[in-house]
Every structure is written in structure tokens, then in C-alpha cells.
Amino acid sequence: MFLINCPFCGEREQSEFKAGGEAHIVRPKQPTELSDDEWAEYLFMRKNIKGIQFERWNHVHGCRKWFNMVRDTSNDQIKAVYKMGEKPPVK
């Protein structure tokens, strides 16, 4: 369990949030032209990194807004939090 600094509400308990998985997976612009392999890559394949991971979170029991987070998955330390649409911070 850890504290998350929601970019809209400030620091809250992690239990108020819902994790939304890996961030910056771009929805295909031309879904009809995708091969089965490309669909599998988009829908199912995940980096699942042990270390610094970029991910999406939702403050589901708060402002209910989505935002992005950079977190070290090996020890749950949060490195940065940034809003949707903003460029991810450089490591």
C-alpha cells in the first residue's frame, strides 16, 4: 500500500485509486487494416516490466479522473505523476 499524489486532488491513499495498466498503448488508427498479430499485440501483450513502468491510474473514489504515473514496480516507489495528454517525464 502506498500514497498517490493525484494531480487533481493531492495526496491520497492508494486504495482510493484503480490501476489501469500499461500507459501509452496507442489505439490503432486503422483497426480494419490490422493483422491478427497486431491485434494480439495491442490487446494482450504487455511489457510487464520489473523496474520503471509507465502506467495509467484512475482516482475512482475521488475525482474519477484518469492520469499517468511512473512507478518502480520492484519496490512500488512512485517516480512521477502527470496528466493525460502530457508528455511523459524523461528518466
Partner 1 sequence: MKNKYSIFSLIKNAFSYHENWEKAWKDPEPKKEYDAVIVGGGGHGLATAYYLAKKHNMKNIAVVEKGWIGGGNTGRNTTIIRSNYLWDASAGLYDHALKIWEGLSQELNYNVMFSQRGVMNLAHNLQDVRDLKRRTHANRLNGIDAVYLNTKEVKKFCPIINTSQNIRYPVLGGTLQRRAGTARHDAVAWGYARGADEMGVDIIQNCEVKGIKRNGDTVEGIETTKGFIKTKKIGVVAAGHSSVIANMAGLKLPLESKPLQALVSEPVKPIIDTVVMSNAVHAYVSQSDKGELVIGAGTDDYVSYSQKGSHDIVEGTLNAILELYPIFSRMRMLRQWGGIVDICPDASPIISKTSIKGLYFNCGWGTGGFKATPGSGDLFAHTIANDEPHKLNAAFNINRFVSGDLVDEHGAAAVAH
Place of cell 495509467: 56
Residue 85 interacts with partner 1 (CB under 8 A): yes or no: no
Task: Indicate which single residue of 34, 41, 62, 66 sits in contact with partner 1 (rule: CB under 8 A).
Answer: 41
11 part of the interface to partner 1, by CB under 8 A: no
User: Using an 8 Å Cβ cutoff, are 69 and 81 in contact?
Assistant: yes
b/e sequence 24-44, b meaning 16+ C-beta within 10 Å: eeeeeeeeeeeeeeeeeeeee
Considering only residues 53, 59, 67, 68, which one is a binding residue for partner 1 as defined by CB under 8 A? 53
Q: Does 9 bind partner 1 (CB under 8 A)?
A: no
Of 11-19, 23-31, 83-91: span binding partner 1 (CB under 8 A):
11-19
Report the DSSP beta bridge partners of residue 18.
Answer: 58
- Tell me how far apart the alpha carbons of residues 15 and 55 are, in angstroms, rounded to a whole number: 16
Which residues of this protein are in contact with partner 1, per CB under 8 A?
Answer: 1, 14-15, 18-19, 21-22, 36-37, 39-41, 43-50, 53, 55, 57, 71, 73-76
